[in-house]
């Protein structure tokens, strides 16, 4: 709990939203307790339920009670608010998961926040004693292993996204080049026709005279520029999609 106290203090000074919430809560407690905050266990249960959480165990209350005062002062309450703000509950016993906990990997990978679905998390005791009922096969990882697994998975997705982007760019190159070549009338029949015109004494503009050869060169150059821009845009869009998809992992 000592590490959590240090983290709560750092979070208080470096998170404006949390600091504002704590200050407002402290002001409220000062009025209720007449500037001497002594939150009893009964009041503690009320605070926890007020914040929409379930953990009202005496074990947590005792851990929060720094110095064994048999009540919670303002600093203890700040630690409680930090836990409520940053930690989740065990889905079986409702305990506030303060340190290592275990997450169902299948739920984590398939959860849909838009539908207000949540992950399935267990404390060490519930997992060790198999005191839970869950519809997925046992596939639990602790919160530290989860970070590492999904960190590498994100790198794999980034590589896949780049591959898709390059494939898309390759398709654009192929399609554009094919279109340019199809527009080119330099086929055998056209060559025979032009040869006949030359023999007849008709002047034909050459590549350097602003004729077809120059047009074809401009078209190829413009196509290359367009393909490069389209390729970059395609890669960017694909990467943005996957980053949005896995951004909060």
pLDDT digits (tens, 9 = 90+) for 61-102: 999 999 999 999 989 999 999 999 999 899 898 888 988 999
Q: Are residues 68 and 99 in the same domain?
A: no
Q: What is the pLDDT of residues 91-149, one digit of tens each?
A: 898 888 988 999 988 888 887 766 666 788 999 989 888 888 888 778 888 888 887 77
Distance set, CA 111 to CA 72, 228, 233 (Å): 37, 37, 30
Q: Are residues 55 and 132 in the same domain?
A: no
Q: Which helix (H) or strand (E) holds 196?
A: helix 188-199
What is the token pair recorded at 231?
């390729």
Reduce the secondary structure of 20-54 to three states and give it as a string.
Answer: HHHHHHHHHHHHHCCCCCCECHHHHHHHHHHCCCC
pLDDT band at 198 (very low <50, low <70, confident <90, very high): very low
Q: Are residues 112 and 185 in the same domain?
A: no
Q: Are residues 154 and 239 in the same domain?
A: yes
Q: Are residues 212 and 184 in the same domain?
A: yes
Report the pLDDT averaged over residues 204-229. 51
Q: Are residues 157 and 94 in the same domain?
A: no
pLDDT band at 216 (very low <50, low <70, confident <90, very high): very low
Evaluate if residue 21 carries a pLDDT over 70: yes
Task: Say which residues have a Cβ less than 8 Å from residue 117's Cβ, sequence separation at least 6.
Answer: 111
Report the pLDDT averaged over residues 29-53. 86
Number of domains in the chain: 3
Task: Choose between 127 and 242: higher pLDDT.
Answer: 127
Q: What is the mean pLDDT of the chain?
A: 73
Task: Choose between 223 and 10: higher pLDDT.
Answer: 10
Nearest to 183 by CA among 208, 207, 218, 231: 218
Q: Are residues 183 and 209 in the same domain?
A: yes
Please give the share of the chain, as a percent, with pLDDT higher than 90: 23
Parallel, antiparallel, or unpaired: how do β-strands 121-122 and 140-142 relate?
A: unpaired
Q: Are residues 25 and 112 in the same domain?
A: no
Nearest to 103 by CA among 160, 58, 142, 54: 142
Q: What are phi and psi of 186, to 5 degrees?
A: -80, 70
Give the residue numbers spanning the domain of 199.
147-246
Which of these three, 138, 168, 199, is where a domain ends?
Answer: 138
Which of these three, 47, 71, 87, is where a domain ends?
Answer: 87
Q: pTM of this prediction?
A: 0.57
- Supply the pLDDT for residue 29: 86
**CATH number of the domain that 31 lies in?**
1.10.238
Which of these three, 97, 115, 138, is where a domain ends?
Answer: 138
- Supply the pLDDT for residue 186: 47
Evaluate if residue 50 carries a pLDDT over 50: yes
Please give the share of the chain, as a percent, with pLDDT higher than 70: 57
Task: Choose between 70 and 165: higher pLDDT.
Answer: 70
pLDDT band at 235 (very low <50, low <70, confident <90, very high): low
Q: Are residues 79 and 109 in the same domain?
A: no
Q: Are residues 96 and 176 in the same domain?
A: no
Q: Are residues 74 and 95 in the same domain?
A: no
Q: Are residues 164 and 94 in the same domain?
A: no
């Amino acid at each position: 709990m000592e590490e959590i106290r240090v983290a709560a203090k750092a979070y208080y000074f470096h998170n404006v939203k949390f600091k504002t919430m704590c200050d407002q809560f402290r002001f409220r407690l000062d009025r209720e307790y007449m500037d001497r905050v002594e939150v009893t266990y009964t009041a503690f249960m009320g605070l926890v339920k007020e914040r929409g959480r379930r953990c009202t165990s005496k074990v947590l209350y005792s851990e929060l009670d720094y110095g064994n005062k048999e009540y919670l002062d303002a600093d203890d309450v700040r630690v409680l608010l930090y836990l409520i703000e940053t930690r989740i509950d065990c889905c079986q016993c409702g305990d506030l998961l303060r340190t290592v906990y275990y997450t169902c990997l299948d739920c984590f990978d398939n959860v849909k926040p838009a539908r207000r679905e949540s992950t399935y998390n267990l404390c060490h005791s519930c997992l060790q004693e198999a005191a839970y009922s869950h519809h997925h096969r046992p596939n639990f990882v602790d919160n530290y292993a989860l970070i590492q697994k999904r960190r590498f998975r994100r790198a794999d997705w980034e590589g896949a996204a780049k591959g898709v982007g390059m494939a898309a760019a390759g398709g654009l190159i192929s399609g554009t080049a094919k279109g340019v070549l199809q527009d080119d009338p330099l086929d055998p029949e056209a060559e025979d026709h032009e040869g006949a015109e030359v023999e007849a004494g008709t002047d034909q503009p050459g590549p350097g005279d602003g004729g077809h050869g120059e047009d074809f060169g401009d078209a190829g150059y413009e196509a290359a520029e367009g393909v490069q821009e389209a390729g970059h845009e395609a890669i960017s869009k694909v990467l943005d999609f996957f980053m949005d998809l896995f951004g909060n992992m």
